[in-house]
Amino acid sequence: MASLKEQLGGLVYSTEHGDTCPGCRRPLAECACAEQAEAQRLAALDGTVRIRRETSGRKGKGVTTLEGIPLPAEELKTLAKALKKRCGTGGAVKEGIIEIQGDQREVLKAELEQRGYRVKLAGG
């Protein structure tokens, strides 16, 4: 394991290349850390989309979360936009999880099954 000085230190800017990535120490234009993280996220999925209603940490407001959709980030945003339009509500994509405002579990389950995904209602 590297020493603490080696872990915390390192080149962050070079006049030759500009900004460098702290993870791989390459110039930002050549950095592939984001693609590697996305590939690891997709590899860890089992193919089942889990739909859950959550209220914790949201001041009592409920949201429906969709987790485990095997799509890259850009296609995930496109799918989220279509699902939000179908439900007539707002939402967001955060760390590979689609959040739709309100309790939309049944509508989303029907829509995703129609699109060919294997869907499972999880939680309460």
**Segment 35-62, tens digit of pLDDT:** 888 888 888 878 899 999 988 877 878 8
pTM of the entire structure? 0.73
CA atoms within 13 A on the CB side of 41: 18
Question: Which tokens is 60 given?
Answer: 């009592």
Task: Answer whether residue 118 shows pLDDT above 70.
Answer: yes
Q: Using DSSP, state whether 69 is helix, strand or coil.
A: coil
pLDDT-above-70 percentage for the chain: 89
Q: Describe the chain by its helix, strand, coil percentages, rounded to 5.
A: 35, 25, 40
The number of helix segments (H) and strand segments (E) in the chain equals: 4, 7
Average model confidence (pLDDT) across the chain:
86
Q: What is the pLDDT of residue 9?
A: 64
Q: What is the pLDDT of residue 44?
A: 82
Q: How confident is the model at residue 6 (pLDDT cuts 50, 70, 90)?
A: low
**Segment 77-109, tens digit of pLDDT:** 999 999 999 999 999 999 889 999 999 999 999
Q: Across residues 2-20, what is the average pLDDT?
A: 70
